[in-house]
Amino acid sequence: MYIRDILAPSAPGAEAGGSGNGSASASGRANKRLDGHQLLILTDAARAPELFDPESAWRRRVAERHPGLRVVAHDQDTWRDRAFPRDLDWAHATMLLSGAVFPDPDVAPRMEYIQLQSAGADPVNQTPIFRETDVAVCTTNGVHGPQIAEWVIGTFLALNHQLPHFLDLQKEGKWKQTWPNEGMQDGVKQRVGILGYGSIGRQVARVAKALAMDVVAYTNHPRPTPASRRDMGYIVPGTGDPAGEFPSAWYSGTTDAAIDEFLGCGLDWLVIAVPLTSSTRGLISEARLQLLSDCAKKRGSAVQPFVTNIARGPVVDTDGLMKALDEGWIRGAALDVTDPEPLPEGHPLWSCRNLIVTPHVSAMSTSLGPRIADVLELNLQRFSEGEKLINQVNRKEGY
């Protein structure tokens, strides 16, 4: 762990900037040089070297556009190391990039903008600086879509085609053409329901459509018009569903009846991609997994539904999921998140049939750091122009 203090040329009066614990999007004040502002970067330098190297293209662009901005970069993987770095200059910090470590309001009284490294706001939404101030908090929604969608599709196809079974045979050096043929089904015309049609869900939809699957979407709020279905967040070029045109049906609503209507629409595959909030905790219960199964039986499906969770572990009832796998209500599942997490050694979930579990790694990519830097750069520009920040969290809804 080390600190690099990367100083851009300071303007006269630089110490006087920043209004303190105020929403950047609400201020409407342009300050293109960002005079008086200090950005603290708390992240793993190995994953985002462009944020640490004063000679990187990213650093040069930021210094040229905002010569009044002072940047302090601190090498700390805040997902693994939650220690609060008290030796940093929090008193003058007005902006922060962090994963899971945040200051209390009295420690950083001038803070105006926090840029998360995650697509969800759950790392910060129970902290005092989120609950007790109006500091603008933004996610990096959009930077994870390509790699997580590949994980979603890859694990789905792996279990559909029994690849874990054949990999075990490969390790044993055995050529055996035996497998449960009734469970082998390609994706053509299968219906995938994407619970949470954000940037990740939209990229899953893009790839699923390439496999000739039918996509149906669920969002919290209605999307009745073409304009309302557009993705207004950060988008990796060439990915996702910017216009919201892939779903053949669009469900919405926060009531139990609305969720059940979506789950009962004849899904062959449920992809869970909602943020973790008080309303989504335990959303996929044992009863709702049973509902998926009952609907498949009623329509005479050859196989039971498949379930994928790349949201957060507590969205799915773990005991209910294990029962659904054991009883054959669902034909398989893929989890990159679990409840509890980390999943302890010896936990019965490890030994469930037709299950792939990975340790919350689906977002990993060599492109992740540059994409996070891209969102940060975009928001610095918007902040300097007094515009609303991209991916800003709605405090009432928690995402």
Catalytic amino acids? Answer: 312, 341, 360
Q: Which residues of 190-208 are buried (b: 16+ CB within 10 A; e: fewer)?
A: bbbbbbbbbbbbbbbbbbb
Helix, strand or coil for residue 175?
coil
Distances (CA, A) of 153 to 9, 197, 207, 386: 47, 16, 8, 40
The CA distance from 144 to 41, in Å, is: 20
User: Minimal CA–CA distance to 122: which of 109, 139, 135, 107?
Assistant: 139
Q: Is there a contact between 66 and 383 (Cβ–Cβ < 8 Å)?
A: no
Backbone angles phi, psi at 269, to 5 degrees: -150, 125
Pairing of strands 70-75, 3-6: antiparallel
The CA distance from 396 to 130, in Å, is: 11
- How many contiguous H segments (helices) and E segments (strands) does the chain have? 10, 13
User: What is the distance of C-alpha 297 from the center of its chain?
Assistant: 33
The CA distance from 226 to 289, in Å, is: 32
Pairing of strands 214-219, 191-195: parallel
The CA distance from 80 to 159, in Å, is: 31
Helix, strand or coil for residue 193?
strand
**DSSP structure class, residue 8:** P
| Other beta carbons less than 10 A from residue 154's beta carbon | 15
Is there a cis peptide before residue 342, judged by omega within 30 degrees of 0?
yes
| HSE toward the beta carbon, residue 226, CA cutoff 13 A | 2
Q: How long, in residues, is the chain?
A: 399
| Locus of tokens 């998140």 | 337
